[in-house]
Structure 1
Amino acid sequence: MAFSVEERGRPYTTDYQVYFKNAEGKYISPFHDIPMYADEAQNVFHAVIEVPRWTNAKMEIATKERLNPVKQDTKNANLRYVANVFPHKGYIWNYGAIPQTWEDPNHKDEATGFTGDNDPIDICDIGEKVCSRGQVIRVKVLGTLALVDEGEMDWKVIVINTEDPQAHEFNDIEDVRRLKPGYLEATRDWFKRYKVPDGKPENEFAFNGEFQNRDFAIKTVRNTHSLWRALITKQSDGGDLNCINTTVTDSPFRISAAEADAIVKSASPLGPAEPVPSSVDKWFFYEK
């Protein structure tokens, strides 16, 4: 199943948006219309890349906007860039989300006791290739880290692109520890400290920061898919989440291809990118 993107607006401005198309060239929502599974029998999932590795712009699926384009997040009307906390530079994996999943803020996770963060479940792709913004890849789930972000459950699922040359060697979280020594520790350290430059305390984790294995992670992803099913069929209240989609047959939020086309065409045409502020390259140092 092939997907493509269409950029609108000017990169590194608030009007920049990345819309998605299916193989037929019809506009779709990356949140709701891309299937969770790429190959269910083999436990291969789709992942939408929001942030390519080594970059800083905090791009994410805009869950509250029509067709859920990927946009740069803002805070107090300012574009957000993740800080570089030594020795890290930007995001240290291709970062994104698994479509058709939802961490329900009204649902208490059985394993941790925390409620969800109201987003699709996040992934960290540890493959060698630096992906592009909006790229949809097929991934193997290897494990998960249970980040507790400001009191909310924010799972970080460790995956590897099935096209990676070493993908066949990675089947569980211990394979990451063995074949990429230090990567899991760096991942935990990154999530623990990345908000400190913004004046916030270090993040915490469930399970004492220990990574959970493949089977646990797949079960967690499936649970968030069930929560998404309730959302998209209006059995759960999504609040201000935008559930417009073009392919979910039993969803009351489904719209026509013509309506989706009109949404995208109303956005600004693609223009030249604004320069990234020089402050984004600053490195932050502090004792652990």
Structure 2
Amino acid sequence: MSALLLRSSLGGLVTLFGSFCASRSKLVTQAAGGPHLYNLRKTMHYLTEERGHPNSPDYRIYFKTSEGKYISPFHDIPLIAENEQDNDVPAKKAKKNESEMLFNMVVEVPRWSNAKMEIATKESLNPIKQDVKKGKLRYVANIFPYKGYIWNYGALPQTWEDPDQPDKETKCCGDNDPIDVCDIGTQVCFSGQVIQVKVLGILAMIDEGEMDWKVIAINAKDPDAQNISSIEDVFKTRPGHLEATVEWFRKYKVPDGKPENQFGFNGQFKDKDFAVEIIKATHEHWRALVRKQTNKGAIICKNITCSESPFICSADEAKDVVQSAPAYGGAYPVSSELDKWHFV
């Protein structure tokens, strides 16, 4: 693909990150769809389609474009957010400063909820599902004084923490997943929502010996976003929030009998420039993954837009994947144990 075509697809920003997947410019407004055989919800750029029963192992959230083409949120949603265009008004000129970029974030877990929802990297089209361990659905415990996750939690698409690449500082290898993001905005999002975020900094968490970066970001549409542009701004305007973030990540597995998590850099947050460099590195690891230049293991790289990928598939193949999933049904009840507070 020519450099001209690449610049056209991502508004010039691709020259900084080297992405090669096609992007989309048509926007749809956010709304809620009613239940059918499947459940549709609209997010800014994309539709989500629910299959199976919420709170059950068969529940899945699939993604598709506003034109109705099914896609992978892992591989087909661009890392760098597109410039918006409303009411036929031309989009603003793209910002070329890396620290000013907006990134797409796929929300997996809404703030205050407990179900451990995640992009299913080992399933075709990588829908969001609830993690299962030893045959049981996973929920995070309520660590006093918190209820569930204390931010909207999700991932940056087109990134991958390579399990064969050790971090220079911590010497730990990646956790084999897209890089995680904590959105500290005031809006409570929903699973499958795609939002544009400003990156503020990053935390180097080490989870059972694996590097598990946590990007700290804020929804670009949040009322406070214009006043928060750095990790220092978060410390100033939201006292205690970042300290609580470290403690939450340190202890959230303890009620399950796991040891406390550890951190690189003595648990100190690194700034947004450092965060962007980590994001760039994980994006390059993803590019190698989807182009079959590195060992992908059990990860499924099926996509519909990455022209240099040997895993590209047709829209009909992608549609068949979704239609083979169970029909959408009512949510199953959850245990009252989820309301328990844990003091650790």
Question: TM exceeds 0.5?
Answer: yes
Equivalent positions of 1:51-200 (< 5 A) are 51-200=109-258
- More off after superposition, 16-25 vs 39-48: 39-48
- More off after superposition, 39-48 vs 79-88: 39-48
Equivalent positions of 1:221-236 (< 5 A) are 221-236=279-294
Q: Distance in 1 between matches of 2:160 and 2:154?
A: 13
1:250-275: CA deviation from partner (whole Å, max 9, x where unpaired): 10000000000000000011000001
**What's the secondary structure of 2:304's corresponding residue?**
coil
How many residue pairs get matched? Answer: 286
**What's the secondary structure of 2:108's corresponding residue?**
strand
2:72 to 7, 29, 38: 29
Q: State the shift of 1:95 in Å.
A: 0.1
- More off after superposition, 33-42 vs 124-133: 33-42
Residue type at the aligned position of 2:183 = D
Structure 1 unaligned regions, length at least 5: none
Equivalent positions of 1:4-15 (< 5 A) are 4-15=47-58
Runs of 4+ in 1 over 2 A off after TM superposition: 39-42
Q: Could you say which residue in structure 2 is the equivalent of 1:271?
A: 329
Q: Distance in 1 between matches of 2:133 and 2:288?
A: 30
TM-score normalized by structure 1? Answer: 0.98
Residue type at the aligned position of 1:12 = N
Q: State the shift of 1:110 in Å.
A: 2.0
1:213-253: CA deviation from partner (whole Å, max 9, x where unpaired): 00000110110000000000000111000000011011000
Residue type at the aligned position of 2:58 = D
TM-score normalized by structure 2? Answer: 0.82
1:36-92: CA deviation from partner (whole Å, max 9, x where unpaired): 000573411000000000000000000000000000000001000000111111000
Equivalent positions of 1:43-54 (< 5 A) are 43-54=101-112
Bigger Rg, structure 1 or 2: 2
Residues 1:218 and 2:276 aligned together: yes
RMSD: 0.8
Q: Distance in 1 between matches of 2:67 and 2:301?
A: 21
Q: State the shift of 1:170 in Å.
A: 1.1
Q: State the shift of 1:195 in Å.
A: 0.4
Structure 2 unaligned regions, length at least 5: 1-24, 26-44, 83-94
Residue type at the aligned position of 2:49 = E
Q: State the shift of 1:109 in Å.
A: 1.4
Q: Percent identity?
A: 60
Q: Distance in 2 between matches of 1:273 and 1:216?
A: 41
Residues 1:237 and 2:295 aligned together: yes
Residue type at the aligned position of 1:224 = T
Q: State the shift of 1:135 in Å.
A: 0.1
Q: State the shift of 1:167 in Å.
A: 0.5
